[in-house]
Every structure is written in C-alpha cells, then in structure tokens.
Structure 1
C-alpha cells in the first residue's frame, strides 16, 4: 500500500492522523494505547477533514521529532522506543511515529500512575483501562492467560465435572483422571494442594461457574425483519463451554433454509448460508473470546438478511482477517484452546480462517464482513441480493390499487385466487411451482387458477415464460 493509499484509510485501532503535533496529553495517551495493544502508526501533517496531506514545515521537522521523542521518553512508562521517520507525499513532509506492541504491559502515563494512566485503543479512540483490563495486561506481561488462573473458592474434589468427564471420554476415548487434568493444565499445584484452573470451571456444570462467570454463555435470537425489534425465537445457552458450540450451531440450522437442485442425475441440497464457515465462527467465538471481560456474552443473531455473531474481546493483534487464507494462529485462552483441540472441536492450529475463506468462495451471494466494535469482535454473513418483503396489506389493496371486486373473485374463483394475486403483487416473477409449494396444492391446480384469472382479465403476463412478469390489471 502506498503512502497516498494509507492516508485515505479510516483511523482505527492501529492508525491515527494529526494535522499538527497534538497536546502532550493527547500524544502520550495515543502512544501508551498503541503500546498496550497491537502497536500503531501516528502520522503528523495530515488534515482529517477533508483527508489530505498538508505537511509540516521542513525547517521545523527535527525540532518536532525531538519534541515527540522527549514526550514519549519523559511521560510514558515502562520505556517505549518509537520508530520516528520523515516521509513525503506531493512535496509535503510528514512525521511518521511508529509504535510497536510492547512486551512489558501495562504501559501508562507516569504522572497519573498505573490505575489512572493506563490507556487502551478502542477503535480510533483512546480509552482509560478498567481494573480488569489492567489485570489482563499484567497477565500478558507474565505470559499467563485468564483461564489458567486458579480457583480458590472451592476444593477441586467438590467441583462437579461429571458431565465433562463423560463428554471427554466420548470424544477422545480416554479417561479424564487427575493425570490427564494435569497434562491439560486444567489443574495445578498450589501449596501442596491441587487446585482447579478457571478453565476447568468453564468446562464444569458446577453452580460456582454460574455464580462467578454468569456471562460465560451464548444468547441466540431469531428476529423478524432486519432489526432486533421483534423476536421470533430466542435461546440462552449456558451449559459448560464444551457443549455450547454445537447447541448454538443447531439453533442457526433451525432458522435457516436448505434448498435442493438437480445436478445431472443427482439431487444436491444446499443451505442458504455457508454453514461450515458459521460453525467455525461460533467455535472460534467460544475458544478465543475474552473471558476476563465481565458482563459480556457471545451473541448469535439471525435476521431476514444476515447472520451476525459477536464475541467479547478484540481481535488478537497477530491475526489479520484480510488475509484469511493464510494459516494464522494465536491463542488468548492458553488452556481452553488445547482442550478444544483435544476434543476435536477445533481443527489444526491456524486452519479456522482458511476453512471460512474456502467455503465463502462457494457462496458468491453471501458477503462476509468483520468489525471491532468497542471491546467486541463481530462477523456478519450478509445476503447480497436480499429484498425486504412488502408489508402484508391483506386483500384490501386489490380494491384500492386495482379496483378489483374481491368479494366477487372469492365467490366465483375462490380465496386461493386472491392469495395468488397477492403473491404475484409481492413478487411479479414468482413461478407456478413456487406458488404451489407455498399454497400447498399441485402445480396443475395453480395453472388452472392462473388461466381463470387471465381469462377474466384480472391478470396478464408481460415478457417470456422464464423472464417475464405477472401484471395485475386495473379494473375500470
């Protein structure tokens, strides 16, 4: 990507533009936020509205570079070493300040201290870190994960993992004894006693799980139309996490359609959405979600025009969704992920995004989008050619818009003829086969009804049999 292309990008998690050097407070917040997250680049000398390179005075470049360097050195801690360089575009000089992901988080403002001076990047803004986020940053520094921390509220022997043991035996053929728990790091020694990790609690059906982690669940919803205004169906999946993926996947299958088409001498079935990609997305949302964020659960939302899956936690810094076909692997939950692999719920490392990308090629009518929304990651499978159905007007519109005598039609031709006219109004290209399927009569019956409507000048056909349209004739 050229520099011209770069400055036309939207500001975001890894990119920021400023026309002039920002205030010390603004600059130091951006620098520590980049360091605490995935790193990032700040360009000085770029106007935001309209987005264009206006440059910095050439005579002042060295002074500005030194000023930026001093602010970072004097006001941020631990030590952050920026890569500062001068770049040019159309004879305009810009200062490029590149900050790399730090290996000693949390980074914070010296003057404010860790608790009040730690900032993280959320979209294109810098946000003061909460205590739970600071704790997560400290875990990153120690190279441990949230799911590996120990449970002290209950003795290991008192935690109910009976269902998980049975599931583990069914999937692996192995017994989940203490030795296996140790190898999987689901338990660990503490002062001569074995303690359960938080990961084991997530896999358990113990009441303590719902008490400590009530948000470790999936909320599924099927909505009418394209908004959340009206539920058609909903389900809360709060079982142990080993069972959640399949339950959410089954909810999706229950609310999407599967069609059939003849190919050669065979009949092939095909779901309206890429179900392997959806299953993989659901699995990834459970394996890679940020369990340290309280009050946030996974959401699976099915609308008329798309399926949307939202998971707590931002995308891991090393993962790039724009390069889905490359095998990328990074693990947030260092205990949960290997257990899922052992259970066969996830495939080999780095294969998930590739599976999604490959199946999407077979669904050109589905658009795949992904977003980082606050501290959540969201993907959408969108029907490109979706057309919202027209509001149900009953049969009255046949009178208002076409002057039809609906009582006479019902008496002489039957209510089915009114249904046919209504469906043709809603979809002028509907076929006799489709009408027969919806109304649940034979195609020959539909053809006979259509002939009667045509003979009595209620209905006409414009165009060919394959590409034409049904036209309701206005009555004088």
Structure 2
C-alpha cells in the first residue's frame, strides 16, 4: 500500500482537526484542489436543499467531507451575505437530517459583508443518515440517491452496533434526576431473590449504579436514564409506550388511546394497568373453595413476558421509536421498534434457543431483580402459559423495522361481557359496578359498600371514570352529592 498522502487528503485532515480555526489561506488551498469525494461547492444558500443531499452523503461515507457555500463550481470564492435568517434557514435544513448528527458550521470572512459558509461533516456512526426522508451517497465528486440495497446494508450495520447506545454517557441527566426509591426497590428485590448480597441494601446510589455498569466515570449511561430517570423532561423522547383499545378488528376506530413517556419501570406498570383495565376476567366459585377464582382473557404473566421482551430488545437508537400496545376485539398486539437480531430466527422462538439481547445492560438489571427469571425463556414461557390456560398460542411476527407478539383471544371481547349495556369487554369489577347501577343511581361510597371485594377509593374512582369515558355511565349532582347511573 502506498504511503503517499495527497494534497487533498492533507487539506481535508487540516479541516477536520482544526474546525474552529479554518482561515482564508486554508480555504483557498481547499478550493484550489476542486470538488472531490470529500469536498463540495455551492454558490449560495439558494442551493441549500440540494446541498443537504451532499451532507447526507458525507455522513454516510467513511471519511466525511466539507461543504463550502459561497464558492462556484469553477473555483471562484464569492461568499454571500449572512443574516440571522440565513443562519435559521441552515439550522432548519440540518434538523431534517435523521438520525441527529453533530455538524460544525463555520463562517469565513471574504469581505467586510460576505462570508463563505463551511459545513464540516464527520463520517457518522449511525448510518444510514437521511435528509427529508431520503439517503444519499458520494462517488468521486457526485452525490446521488442511495440504493435500497445499500440502505438496508447500512441499516443492518446500525442495528448490530446499537448495543453500544445504552453504554454511552449522557450529558443531560444526572443522579439528581433519578428515582432513588425505585433504585432501592430494585436492590431490595435483587437481594430477596439472592441475586445481590445483603450489603447492597446499604450501598449508596452511585455504588449501585456502578455495580449495574450504569456509569461511565461520573456520568450516567443512556441505560441508566431509560431505567431510572424520573424527570420526564430529561427522559429520552423514544422512551415511550403508545396504548390503544380499538373497536373491532382494525385501527379504523379507537375507544381509548394514550401515550406514556417515562422510565422503564413506570412504563411497565402503567402498561400493565392499561391492559388489565380492558381485558375481562372471568370469575367462578368452585365447590369447597370460598374464594372466587379469576381467569383473565390472556394470562397476565404471558403479557408481562412479552412486555419485558419488548423493553429489552427494542432499538433505542431510533428517536421516533416506541413500544405499541393495541387491544382489538379478537387479539392483543405488543410491538416494538427493532427487528430480531441476526443471530435469532423467527422459527426458533417457539423452541429452545440461545439468548441474545440488543440491550444487555438494561436486561441485566431486569434479570437481577428477577423481572427476567431465566435467559432465553421469554417466548417459550408465553407459549406454555397460554397453553396451560387453554388460550391460543401467541404468534410472533417480524415487520418492517420491528417485532410483534400477537395474543389471540379465546372469544372476541365484544362477546365476553355479561352486561347487556356494555358493547365492549369489561373487567369483572367493571361488570359488577354496572350491575349495581342498573336499578338506581348510587354514590361512590354506596357502590363501594355494595361490592363483594371493594377496591380503594382511588381505584374505584378510576373505574367509574373509565366507564364514564366509555359512555356507559353518567353522573347526576355535583361535589360530594354526585351519584353515578347507567346512561340511557
């Protein structure tokens, strides 16, 4: 291999190593060499949108590049007037690049009122980068659209390296933003399950985080933020669960929908609460047993396994990513962004297989507190739990850029409810409330007194409001005298 370094390579290296010190003499040296695989000229910001194609291409390359605005194709340095509007326009166009990239913008004075705008673009570590929905590549001095094959190749490479994302240090969140009580709960659970020693209960927060490998020096990792950050404003935008109860078998009409953003444990608990509020529970009394036996439409433990799998295996590098929970009349779907890792085949999920996770730090914390009982058992447990309760087996599907678990219901939700007034599946508690209200209005206190196993006041109020949202019940009166009744 030749040890000769070309002038263009030297100039590019100078530009990258001294980004904030680019002077007119260096600019002239770059321009003299002309356009190349790492250098592009544009006459003015009138060509800004096309120029962003080249920025995308530089990010998708192995070397990066320099975009100079204010230089013509025939190497004339003209510069241009730069106003606040010009700066805003550049910022807006750069914001259309996904995933986000750190691009340095420099303004080199040509005359008293004219500047060459230099965009210094380092090769990205999260290729493919798209601008306004499209990805581009650079070949010699030409920018062109990236082929679908190349795009998928780069996307697969990003997925393979996404495990590093959770290990990266964050600058936006500190230990003051973490939920200390939640961390202590996790430690206590781990000690009770003998996955941590008793001394861990006396450890300081930073010591616990270090034990879980959630610190880089004194800074939190991204995994620590996902797991424990209680400050929603500092939580990652992709730490989201989208929940919906649809009427029927498709997404044409929804009965309820919400978006939750927060740390993993809060999202986990909130999602289970949503599922429990919409999935009916059949109750029966067996001879010789005074306690009612409740059988949910889908085993809750199977839903837990699917949800934990989604949190462990989803691709957190995608800023628009999420976990999606969809309840239909005939099924429940739990989906996450990020397909199966290359080492796992869809056909292997229904039999014993090795465990591979995209986010080992997050998974390790969940294993330590026994939210994960055994490695590689999640999908098998879902199948066995459904079989044991006489439910159809769950189905596993890989979609474009994601993975889904589908739980078919034994009976459609619209047929499960025993309350004639209810057009959708209700929980046994909600059905009991409906039955109590069908004769005459009752206050919340009266409802509680008449229930067999009344919940706490806050839970009962939540159930009443849920039935009101479904337009099954209404209220009369106000304040402390309010009463609840079946809507006619």
Within 1, Cα distance between the matches of 2:212 and 2:339? 26
| Match of residue 215 from structure 2 | 187
Q: Residue 227 in 1 paired to residue 250 in 2?
A: yes
- Maintained 8 Å contact 1:325/1:358: no
Q: Aligned match of 1:342 in 359, 368, 376?
A: 368
Which residue of the other structure, out of 263, 281, 301, is the alignment partner of 1:240? 263
Name structure 1 gaps, 5 residues minimum.
Answer: 1-104, 120-124, 390-418, 424-435, 442-476
User: What is the CA deviation profile of residues 393-438 of structure 1, one whole-angstrom value per residue up to 9, with x for unaligned ones?
Assistant: xxxxxxxxxxxxxxxxxxxxxxxxxx99x99xxxxxxxxxxxx979
What does residue 151 of structure 1 align with?
A: 170
In the superposition, the TM-score normalised over structure 1's length comes to 0.50
| Residue 312 (str. 1) matches residue 337 (str. 2) | yes
Secondary structure of 1:232's counterpart equals strand
Contact 2:329 2:413 in 1 (8 A): no
Alpha-carbon displacement from aligned partner over 1:146-182 (angstroms, at most 9, x marks no partner): 101111345x455444344343344335245323222
- 1:354 equivalent to 2:380? Answer yes
Q: Distance in 2 between matches of 1:150 and 1:219?
A: 27
Whether 1:250 aligns to 2:273 is: yes
Unaligned runs of 5+ residues in structure 2 are: 1-125, 129-136, 192-200, 423-433, 440-488
Of residues 321, 327, 334 in structure 2, which corresponds to 1:296?
Answer: 321
Q: Deviations over 1:251-276 (max 9, x none)?
A: 11111111134555345321111221
Query: Which of 329, 347, 368 lines up with 1:322 in the alignment?
Result: 347
Pair 1:200–1:388, CA change in 2 (3 A): closer
Find the counterpart in structure 1 of residue 301 from structure 2: 276
Does the aligned pair in 2 maintain the 1:365–1:384 contact within 8 Å?
Answer: yes
Give the structure 2 partner of residue 383 of structure 1.
409
* Aligned counterpart in structure 2 of residue 168 of structure 1, from 168, 186, 200: 186
Counterpart CA distance in 2 for 1:314 and 1:161 is 30
CA contact (8 A) 1:312 1:375 kept: yes
Q: CA deviation at 1:359?
A: 0.9
Q: Contact (CA 8 Å) 1:325, 1:357: kept in 2 or not?
A: no
SS in 2 for 1:328: coil
| TM-score normalised according to structure 2 size | 0.49
**Partner SS, residue 290 of structure 1:** coil
In 1, distance between residues paired with 2:388 and 2:263?
A: 33
Secondary structure of the 2:317 match is coil
Quick check: 1:118–1:134 contact (8 Å CA) kept in 2?
Answer: no
Aligned with residue 312 of structure 2, among 287, 291, 307: 287
2:392 aligned with 1:366, yes or no? yes
Deviation at 1:321, TM superposition (A): 4.5
Alpha-carbon spacing, 1:250–1:325, altered in 2? closer, same or farther (3 Å): farther
- Alpha-carbon distance in 2 for matches of 1:210, 1:116: 39
